[in-house]
Amino acid sequence: TSCGVVGDLPLEMASPVLKWKRVTNTTGPCPRPRHGHRAVAIKDLMIVFGGGNEGIVDELHVYNSAANQWFIPPVKGDIPPGCAAYGFVVDGTRILVFGGMVEYGKYSNELYELQASRWEWKRLKPKPPRNSPPPCPRLGHSFTLIGNKVYLFGGLANDSDDPKNNIPRYLNDLFILELRPGSGVVGWDQPETHGIPPPPRESHTGVAYCGSDGKQKLVIYGGMSGCRLGDLWILDIESMTWSMPMVYGIPPLPRSLHSATLLGPRMFVFGGWVPLVVDDVRVGTHEKEWKCTNTLASLNLETMTWEPLAMEVFEESLPRARAGHCAVAIHSRLYIWSGRDGYRKAWNNQVCCKDLWFLETEVPPPPTRVQLVKASTNSL
């Protein structure tokens, strides 16, 4: 019975019941559509910062998924300048912002901390690593929290000081930022790694995963290095070893500026830029044109398998194709908001999507009395 592994699983495990739902009738001030923003979730809240569209945004917006309401928290402290394609992680109720684009052609390597309980910003100045300079200014990097350490990988640097003359450089360096409990950081570290590191890239995603064997892993997927990438790399945190695991199933198209969100053992990949598939094989091999996609893919990190998805597919029941959107997991739902819908342009402005969607990954059990009581007493 070696071939019966998938068949033995309950049906909803093998093919999760998935359904997109557009969120309508939100109350409160709706943020302006944009791309390159990031979001994190704290309980029922989705916290959105930065991004931009013809102007980088420095606003902080919060969406309360329980109340279906947007609100703008009153922030204080060292309020950071707006940034786009930066790194954003949440540890409890503190949020860290690193790098990103702050002006045309100008990237940052500054670190800010937001205490979401007080909505207070603080600029942090972490110590550089012992033997090397701190990470260079960059955008499109991955910034992933594992335990009490944040892992910074790759991104795009600009080797030119002149904003008119951008000299892009793809990176594949790895830095670790150790956090102090509660607030502040210990400093940067550039660890020694083993194995072959992933090639340079930007606008990839990094996901933290703890396997059933208890091993912590950093999963790097996709990105851009001149062409869109679809490769998957794993850094084993214990041994600091890079590896390229064997991946089963039908992989999705290579992509960048997508989102990858962990829900249970599954990494849900949504949207991004993918190569335009041309039927002609000779043309198709040379990646020349790209488009945004609205496809969803699910990688089971336990079995390392791209799983087929059973989805309801109606024209209007799917979010439009997009890239540079944000995605967070709130309970069993995957929320996505805004993003850019391709190279479509109107006048001198790029149009971005202004819709909010969620993907239901589990059929929620009927609410019990206890849960209902909890929901009203336990809200943030």
Partner 1 sequence: MGFGLLDCYISMEVSESLPDSPAHGCLADHTYAKSWNWSPSHILYWPTKYLFTSREIHIAHTSGANEGRLDVEMVVSESEPPFDAIKAETLLEEAVKEAEKVCCNGVDDQDWEKSVDQLSWTSEQRKLFSKVTEILNAVYLSMLSSKGSVHCAAVYRSRMDSCAKQFCRLMCQDSMEVKLGGWLHVLLMKHLSPSYLALYMELLQALRAKSPGVFDSVTSEARMADSMMDFLEKKPWDPAASSLSHLKLTKPRDGITILFLHGSLSKKQRASMRMQFWIDQLSHMGRVIPVTLASLDDNGRTRSLDAILSSLKSHVSDAKTQHPDKPLVIVGWGTWAALTSHVCLEEAASISAVVCLGFPTRGIFGARGEADDPLLFCKVPFLFILGSQAINARISDIERLREKMKCQTRLIVLEGGDHWLRLPKGCKVIHHVTQGMVDKALMMEVADFISLVLSPPPDVLTSLTMVPGSNT
Residues at the site binding partner 1, with contacts judged by CB under 8 A: 32, 34-36, 51-59, 72, 82, 84-85, 101, 103-105, 139-140, 156-157, 159, 163-173, 197, 200, 202-203, 224-226, 228, 256-257, 273, 286, 288-290, 323-324, 343-351
- Closest CB 310 distance from partner 1, rounded Å: 32
- Closest CB 299 distance from partner 1, rounded Å: 23
Distances, alpha carbon 132 to alpha carbons 47, 143, 174, 190, 215, in Å: 33, 19, 12, 7, 28
| Alpha helical stretches, state H, 18-119 | none
Which residue, 203 or 259, is less far from partner 1 as judged by CB? 203
Q: Which residues contact 28 (CB under 8 A, 6 or more apart)?
A: 69, 70, 71, 72
Which residue, 171 or 321, is less far from partner 1 as judged by CB? 171
- Which residue matches tokens 């300048």? 81
Which residue, 165 or 317, is less far from partner 1 as judged by CB? 165
CB 72 within 8 A of CB 360: no
- Closest CB 167 distance from partner 1, rounded Å: 6
- Closest CB 55 distance from partner 1, rounded Å: 4
CB 34 within 8 A of CB 53: yes
CA–CA–CA angle 286, 206, 148 (5° rounding)? 165
Which residue, 84 or 329, is less far from partner 1 as judged by CB? 84
- Closest CB 286 distance from partner 1, rounded Å: 5
- Closest CB 97 distance from partner 1, rounded Å: 15
Which residue, 178 or 287, is less far from partner 1 as judged by CB? 287
By DSSP bridging, strand 149-158 and strand 168-179 are antiparallel
- CA 127, CA 129: separation in Å to the nearest integer? 7
Q: Which of 373, 274, 252 is nearest to 322 (CA)?
A: 274
- Closest CB 18 distance from partner 1, rounded Å: 28
Q: Which residues contact 45 (CB under 8 A, 6 or more apart)?
A: 62, 63, 64, 65, 116, 380
Which residue, 2 or 348, is less far from partner 1 as judged by CB? 348
Which residue, 59 or 360, is less far from partner 1 as judged by CB? 59
